[in-house]
Amino acid sequence: MTTPAPVISTEQAMLRFLVAAKPPVVPPASSTRRQILETAIRLFAEDGYAASSMRIIADACGIRAPSIYEYFGGKPELLIAAMTEVLSDFQAFIRQVVDLDLLPEQQLEQIVRQHVTWQVSFAERAGAWDSLAAAHTLEKHLEADQVEVFNGLRQLYLDVVTSLVAEAFPGPHPVLRSRALLTLCDRTTAWAESNETPTDQLADQAWALGSAALRTSF
Amino acid sequence: MTTPAPVISTEQAMLRFLVAAKPPVVPPASSTRRQILETAIRLFAEDGYAASSMRIIADACGIRAPSIYEYFGGKPELLIAAMTEVLSDFQAFIRQVVDLDLLPEQQLEQIVRQHVTWQVSFAERAGAWDSLAAAHTLEKHLEADQVEVFNGLRQLYLDVVTSLVAEAFPGPHPVLRSRALLTLCDRTTAWAESNETPTDQLADQAWALGSAALRTSF
DNA sequence: AAACTCACCTAACGCATGTTTGGTGGTCTG
DNA sequence: CAGACCACCAAACATGCGTTAGGTGAGTTT
């Protein structure tokens, strides 16, 4: 299942990541469609796929279930659209701070801070404490080939982070250390001792914990 | 929702944790009951609550759905039994290495290693990559008061770890740093670059990453 | 041997689900 | 003003769900 994970060059990883920015295939254009999508994102993340029936999603939008079929082919398709929307949004947000001219450690810090910032906004958008755990749960309901598409997109991001970690914090197990760093980014929001902790402070904490852990020698 | 999290003394936290070891209220005694319980643990963790119907669970045990009602009052009760079993098993396993005479840092290392070891065995038992994420998803299907019971038990463990962290690695935000440490314990298994990585090595990695992060100064 | 217990079963219940059919009313367009 | 289009809907469908009722047959007890 897992390969020995060759670490590609930072430049190559970043270029691949940047190039994956495609305009959405179907422009939204309809506000009802948009509302259904946002509601689905929130309910799927909060309550899970099975617990969010088409009727419940529709009611939350002020419409009836059959109307959803005007915009989406069915429930699985709605799930794919919701997950695609979230993943694309995340990667576009990260792309804003990708800069080939930054030093590796500075680039890594920028990405960590942007990641934490996005996570805070996702928690507000979807009411979910952990976007990655939610995604993993939801993927149980998808076909294997669709899961591969999402994993491929995530891998582009993981490659960027891994190559930066390997450059900025040389040492063994760069993949494992990258995953640890990204988990800190995903979860720091949920660990906050108060809901009013400012985002900047959460980003500080994630980077402090993460950069310390990255200096680990095994 | 969250209090300023007073850190209680290590001794007090450990005693509370140890004292919570009660014999199960209902002795299993029946092998069919045991098989249903283990199957439910696996399917709930792998596929989720809604996707694991009574018929599917029963079929996996070689019986028919109504027979489950000979041993459990219903599906929610089966879920509670499954989660109680897993949480009790985990805490009993941790209890084996709780030792009031150890130095805080040594005690913490023992607990981290035991935690990682348990996580590996849980992954084999239930096919799930993250017991805590699975638990959080499943708790959506429980009544609030039952969730509180589980949270109370988890808090006993978190208190032990937090007090040890505060003693062994003095600094601000002991609760946040403890949660980060425990997340490393939960997830290191899933990050392994191969499924054949020996448990000892996973424990090494978790403790290396964790103890490095704990030295963080904010 | 009769009575009882036990583990399990088949059949069926009411209900919620995803989805399809066949509209309805309003707004543009000729 | 007729007709096309659009966004939406009520009603119905087959299916699968958790659960209950009632029964069967083997093993034990009296």
B26-48: per-residue pLDDT in tens? 555 679 999 999 999 999 999 89
For chain B, give the mean pLDDT. 91
Q: Is the per-residue pLDDT at A65 higher than 60?
A: yes
A116 neighbors A199 (Cβ within 8 angstroms)? yes
pLDDT score at A2 = 43
When pLDDT is averaged across residues B139-167 and rounded to a whole number, the result is 95
pLDDT score at A3 = 44
Inter-chain contact A133–B129, Cβ cutoff 8 Å?
no
Which 8-state DSSP code applies to residue B100?
A: T
pLDDT score at B132 = 83
Strand C contacts in B 136-175 (CB under 7 A) = none
If you measure CA to CA, which chain B residue comes closest to A1? Answer: B194
What is the largest distance, in Å, between two alpha-carbon atoms of chain A?
Answer: 57
Q: Provide, rounded to the nearest whole percent, the portion of chain B with pLDDT above 90.
A: 75
**Which nucleotide in the DNA or RNA is closest to residue B52, CA to C1'?**
D17
Residue whose structure tokens are 């996707």 = B51
A196 chain-B contacts, CB cut-off 8 A: none
Among B101, B36, B19, residue whose Cα is nearest residue B75:
B36
The reply to whether B184 touches chain A by the CB within 8 Å rule is yes
Inter-chain contact A140–B51, Cβ cutoff 8 Å?
yes
Q: Is the Cα torsion angle A151, A154, A159, A165 positive or negative in sign?
A: negative
B50 chain-A contacts, CB cut-off 8 A: 48-51
The reply to whether A154 touches chain B by the CB within 8 Å rule is no
If you measure CA to CA, which chain B residue comes closest to A177? Answer: B209
Does residue A129 sit in helix, strand or coil?
coil
pLDDT score at B127 = 80
The reply to whether B180 touches chain A by the CB within 8 Å rule is yes
If you measure CA to CA, which chain B residue comes closest to A197? Answer: B2
The reply to whether A51 touches chain B by the CB within 8 Å rule is yes
Write the single-letter amino acid at B82: A
When pLDDT is averaged across residues B79-104 and rounded to a whole number, the result is 96
Does residue A60 sit in helix, strand or coil?
helix
d(CA A87, CA A147): 12
- Count the helix, strand and coil residues of chain B and give each as a percent rounded to the nearest 5: 70, 0, 30
B169 neighbors B214 (Cβ within 8 angstroms)? yes
- Which of B49, B137, B187 lies closest to A183 in CB terms? B187
d(CA B25, CA B81): 11
pLDDT band, very low/low/confident/very high, at B20 (cuts 50, 70, 90)? confident
For chain A, give the mean pLDDT. 91
Q: Is the per-residue pLDDT at A186 higher than 80?
A: yes
B85 neighbors B171 (Cβ within 8 angstroms)? no
In whole angstroms, C27 C1' to A63 CA is: 20
**Which nucleotide in the DNA or RNA is closest to residue B72, CA to C1'?**
D19
A75 chain-B contacts, CB cut-off 8 A: none
d(CA B103, CA A184): 28
- Which of B130, B191, B218 lies closest to A205 in CB terms? B218
pLDDT band, very low/low/confident/very high, at A137 (cuts 50, 70, 90)? confident
B147-157 per-position pLDDT tens digit: 999 999 999 99
pLDDT band, very low/low/confident/very high, at A37 (cuts 50, 70, 90)? very high
Inter-chain contact B205–A218, Cβ cutoff 8 Å?
yes
Pull the structure tokens for residue B25. Answer: 């209220």
A209 chain-B contacts, CB cut-off 8 A: 177, 180, 213, 216
Q: Is the Cα torsion angle B19, B25, B28, B29 positive or negative in sign?
A: positive
Instruction: Give the distance from residue A179's alpha carbon to the nearest chain B alpha carbon, in angstroms.
Output: 7
Provide the Cα torsion A205, A208, A209, A214; round to 10°: 150
d(CA A29, CA B172): 49
- Indicate if CB(A15) is under 7 A from strand C: no
Choose the weakest-confidence range: A35-39, B8-12, B94-98: B8-12
pLDDT band, very low/low/confident/very high, at B137 (cuts 50, 70, 90)? confident
Pull the structure tokens for residue B142. Answer: 């429980």
pLDDT band, very low/low/confident/very high, at A24 (cuts 50, 70, 90)? low
Write the single-letter amino acid at A153: L
Strand C contacts in B 10-39 (CB under 7 A) = 30, 32
**Neighbouring C-beta atoms of residue A92, cutoff 10 Å:** 11
Write the single-letter amino acid at B168: A
Residue whose structure tokens are 């008061």 = B145
pLDDT score at A29 = 62
d(CA A177, CA A172): 9
What would you report as the CA-atom Rg of chain B, rounded to the nearest whole angstrom? 18
Q: Is the per-residue pLDDT at B4 higher than 60?
A: no
A8 neighbors A147 (Cβ within 8 angstroms)? no
pLDDT band, very low/low/confident/very high, at B160 (cuts 50, 70, 90)? very high
Q: Is the per-residue pLDDT at B138 higher than 80?
A: yes
In whole angstroms, D17 C1' to B37 CA is: 20
